[in-house]
Amino acid sequence: MLYVRFPLSLRNVEDLLFERGIDMCHETVRLWWNRFGPLFAVDIRRQRVSRIWGFRHWRWHFDEMYVKINGEVHYPWRAVDHEGEVLESYVTKKRDKSAALRFTKKVLKRHGKVEKIVTDGLRSYPAAMRELGNLDRREMGRWLNNRAENSQLPFRRRERAILQFRQMKSLQNFASVHASLHNHFDSERHLVDRHTYRQRRSAALAEWQNPVA
């Protein structure tokens, strides 16, 4: 959890564990993260999707950013709901119509239908949505997609701590796990009082102990 949730490198986690009396190599932390991180993320995501499936989805935000792997640009696509929760993360080597179509189908299959989809000016979005028959649900504006833009900030902070990704698979795994953990522990502390925030934080930590135990 330390490595994924907080902007720490593998060696930072090694030092923190050593201060707590646990002596292990940073490579052990990496192996544990690669083995158990996706399993925990899948369990958390399954529970959250089952809870929000019955609710009304009235606006999603689609956006993409770029990450360099060995000098080659890759594009992590991201779908965010109207409350800022990351619904899906999907990495591709291109951002053309076929990539946008695969990403949109993936989001719709897992989370159901939506009333409005906010995107930026990338032409791949209308081309893909036209093929799916939901182009009339698309919205685009100068500041309408700030929700998706701001959701990238936690990932960018983690990316700077990691320094770089070496494989597209590792980028996809980390993007998915990081999104699930960020959603789980995001208690919206700027919107609630201190007492409510402490209750939400305690509930999130208690729920986290179930897949970890």
Residue that the structure tokens 């502390």 belong to: 189
For the domain spanning 2-212, the CATH number is 3.30.420.10
Domain limits, the chain: 2-212
What angle, rounded to 10 degrees, do the helices at 168-185 and 26-52 form?
60
- Tell me: pLDDT of 102 over 90: yes
Residue 191 pLDDT grade (very low, low, confident, very high; cuts 50, 70, 90): confident
117-118 vs 60-64, strand pairing mode: parallel
Q: Percent of the chain having pLDDT more than 90?
A: 19
- Tell me: pLDDT of 100 over 90: yes
- Tell me: pLDDT of 49 over 80: no
* Cα 90 from Cα 41, distance rounded (Å): 15
DSSP conformation class of 62:
E
DSSP conformation class of 143:
S
- Tell me: pLDDT of 52 over 70: no
Please say whether the beta carbons of 64 and 75 come within 8 A. Answer: yes
Q: What digits encode the pLDDT tens for the residues 18-40?
A: 888 888 888 888 888 777 777 77
Please compute the mean of the pLDDT values over residues 46-57 and round it to a whole number: 66
pLDDT of 211: 63
pLDDT of 54: 60
pLDDT of 51: 65
* Cα 58 from Cα 83, distance rounded (Å): 11
Residue 127 pLDDT grade (very low, low, confident, very high; cuts 50, 70, 90): very high
